[in-house]
Each structure stands twice: as C-alpha cells, then as structure tokens.
Homo-oligomer: A and B are copies of this chain.
Amino acid sequence: MQNFTYHIPTKIYFGKGQISALSQELKSRAKKILIVTGGGSVKKYGIFDDVLKEVKKAKISYIELSGVKPNPRLKSVYKGIDICKKEGVDLVLAVGGGSVIDAAKTIAAGVKYKGDVWDFFENDVACTASLPVATVVTLAATGSEMDTFAVITREDTQQKLAFGSETSRPVFSILDPEYTYSVNEYHTAAGIADIMAHVFEEYFSNYSGAAVSDRIAEGLLKVCIQYGPVTCEKPRDYIARANILWANTLAINDLLDMGKVGDWASHAIEHEVSAIYDISHGVGLAIIVPNWMKFTLSQKTVKKFAEYGVNVWGIKKDKDEMKIASAAIDRTRNFFNSLGLPSKLSEVNIKGDRFAEMAKKAITSHGQVGSFKKLSEKDIVEILKMSL
C-alpha cells in the first residue's frame, strides 16, 4: 500500500429538502455570487426557483451565467471570469450536473489567476487559489461536487482537457436525489457508466495491497449494478436515485484511490473522442471501457480481473482465472447494453478516420496514458478500432 494524504473537507447535505441549508451556507460565505446553470432544465423543473428562494433568504445578490453546455466550453468559462471580475463576485454556485460544476470550478480558479485559465489545462501551471465553489447537484455522473477536477473543451483546437486543484474542491454541495428525477433514461444510464468507469479507473491498478480501497470500490460497483437499472426504469424511485447519487460522489472524491495509483486510460481515450464528436462522456465510456478491459486482459493482469468477476459479479471461483476474467468483461458490456447504452462508436455516428489523431493527442496531453497497462499510440488506436 502506498503512502497517501486524505483530506476531503467538502460538506455534503444529502437528501430531500436539503436545499434549505443553502441560505445559511451562502450567508456565512458571500455577499455576491455567480450562479452557473446549463441548458434550462433546472428552470423547467423548479430547482432554480428553490435556489433563488434561498439566495433571497440569505439577503445576498447574484448574477447568473446560463447556457453552459455538456462538454463545457472554454468560451463560457471566459465569460464567467469576466463577470466575476467586473461584479466582485465572492463565491461561484453551480446548479446542475458535472459540466456546470466543472465550468464553475474553472471560472472560480480563473478569477484568481493573472494569466489565461487555459494554462492550468494545457501548460501544467499549478492552480493555487480559487474563489470558493459550491454546488447544487442535479445529475449523478461525474462526482465533481466533491472532487478537485474540472474538464473543459476548447472548441477551436478540439481539445478536451482536465485540471485539478485542492483549491477547486467545493466548500459545500447539496445533493437531493429528487433533483435527479427529471434526468431521462439515456442520460441516467450514461451517468451510471460514468460512475462505474471512475471506480474501474481506480480499481484496476498494479499497486496491490490497498484492500480497503478495493473492497469499497467493489461495494460501489455492486450498488450501481443493483440500483442503476432501477433508476432507468423507475426514475422517481427515491432509494435507487439516492444510492446512485451517493455512490457517484464517493466514486471519485479520493476515497477509492488511497494507497494505490489508478489507470485513467479509458478517460484519456474518451476525452479525445468527445472533444471531436461532442458525444456524452458516459456514453463514450460505456463503449470504450469494456474494450479497454479486453485489450488490457493478459496473464499479467488476469488476477485483478478475476477478483473483479468474483467479488463484484459473484462469478464462481475457478482455477481458470482467464475464464472468470473474460466472463466479468462480458458481464460489464452486457450490463451497459441492458441500460440502453451503445456498444460501438459507429452507433453514435463516429467513423474510424480520425483514430490516429485521437491517439496522438491523448499521448501528447497526458505524457503517459494508462498505469495498470501503459498504452502506446498504437495501443490506443487498437482500442478505438475494437470500439468501432
């Protein structure tokens, strides 16, 4: 087990009606806030009204930045930074899913940085200060409400990159499972693939001996397998929505990678796909992850895949670990399909003509792609071909 530092100070208000905590939290932290929202669903479903009631109760002022898109764009971020600087905003409140939260984090960090905020993404400049960020979550997928990361797309260069900083971890987040009721079946399913992919990225690791992290990871995967289909079929099932929402948060808040080093190759590859084709991140992952698994399975890695098969899918122990491992990968693919997610890039109108470019960009952006299995450009192209 590797040494680690664990420090997750985000305060989580979880459950129905927890929006009532918002006014006091805002009042104690800010005089003027920027509220970042997405395409309008938070207004349609009354969540924005709930937020405004609390803002009013807190007797603080606000400005809104609406229209942040999935795969959030750098230009929205620049706009938010300008507003914050002009208006003297002292807290950024994201009301939405991961894209909205990631935009909010990047805006908050950009306000405190003299240069171009894109430096954090492309030029490895360390982010050391940020306005406080808070969130009201409406989608279980990215877990951005308790982690340090943000992923932003720069349209002109078709780059989709991440940055992370302890200063970007939200100070508080409100998670009401009822706020996720309106997410449609397809995006609910994509969210589940995203959550499970986060767990896989941390679970599949060459650093053995981090049993605590591994057993917790398996537990979260079992929650996704149990309740994922329920959230798709019965969108207003509170228990199912609640468990998926909490699993989503814990999946990427640091808990699962304590004592080990994750892989993150599937994410690196998917980001290159959605940077160009603007597909939903979770859909991309549902396609790529099982192929990454197939490509990665070898005599060297079989033990971990077999462990996954036995502990998560309940596959019977067998001397032939390769058999268990293959069955586990098949179960993963079939599970995503059962949620209505595609198996192939061609199903979402992606052709194979830009795979070499994607692979090159992935390597350029990350230096090294993968840790459980280190991938070359050629390997990435191969995984993309398997995904076609």
Contacts and interface: CB of A to CB of B under 8 A. Distances in A.
Residue among A2, A11, A14, A247 with the highest chain B CB neighbour number at 10 A: A14
Given A220-B215, A246-B212, A8 B5 contact: no
A226 interface: yes
Contact of A11 (B6, B21, B177, B227): B6
Interface in A1-51: 1-18, 21
A15 to B, nearest CB: 3
A216 interface: yes
Contacts of A8: 8-9
Contact of A209 (B17, B18, B243): B243
A215 B222 contact: yes
A126 interface: no
B6 A12 contact: yes
A7 B249 CA distance: 13
A222 to B, nearest CB: 5
A239 interface: yes
Contacts of A7: 9-12
Contacts of A226: 211
Total copies of this chain within the assembly: 2
Residue among A3, A211, A238, A258 with the highest chain B CB neighbour number at 10 A: A211
A248 to B, nearest CB: 10
A13 B5 contact: yes
Nearest to A243: B211
Contacts of A215: 218-220, 222-223
A110 interface: no
Nearest to A9: B9
Q: Which bracket fits the contact residues of A?
A: 35 or more
Contact of A3 (B14, B223, B258): B14
Contacts of A259: 14-15, 242, 246
B5 A12 contact: yes
Given A12-B5, A13-B5, A220 B209 contact: no
Nearest to A5: B13
A250 interface: yes
A17 B4 CA distance: 11
Interface string A182-214: 000000000000000000000000000111100
Nearest to A250: B212
Interface in A246-272: 246-247, 250, 258-259
Given A7-B9, A8-B8, A8-B9, 18 more contacts: A1-B177, A1-B246, A3-B15, A3-B17, A5-B12, A5-B13, A6-B14, A7-B11, A14-B258, A15-B259, A209-B242, A211-B226, A212-B223, A212-B247, A215-B219, A216-B220, A246-B258, A246-B259
Interface of A: 1-18, 21, 177, 209-212, 215-216, 218-220, 222-223, 226-227, 238-239, 242-243, 246-247, 250, 258-259
25 contacts: A1-B238, A1-B243, A1-B246, A3-B15, A3-B16, A3-B17, A4-B12, A5-B13, A5-B21, A6-B12, A7-B9, A7-B10, A7-B12, A8-B9, A14-B258, A15-B259, A209-B243, A211-B222, A212-B246, A212-B247, A215-B222, A216-B216, A216-B220, A219-B219, A246-B258
Pairs A-B, 7 closest by C-beta atoms: A3-B15, A215-B219, A9-B9, A209-B239, A6-B12, A7-B11, A1-B242
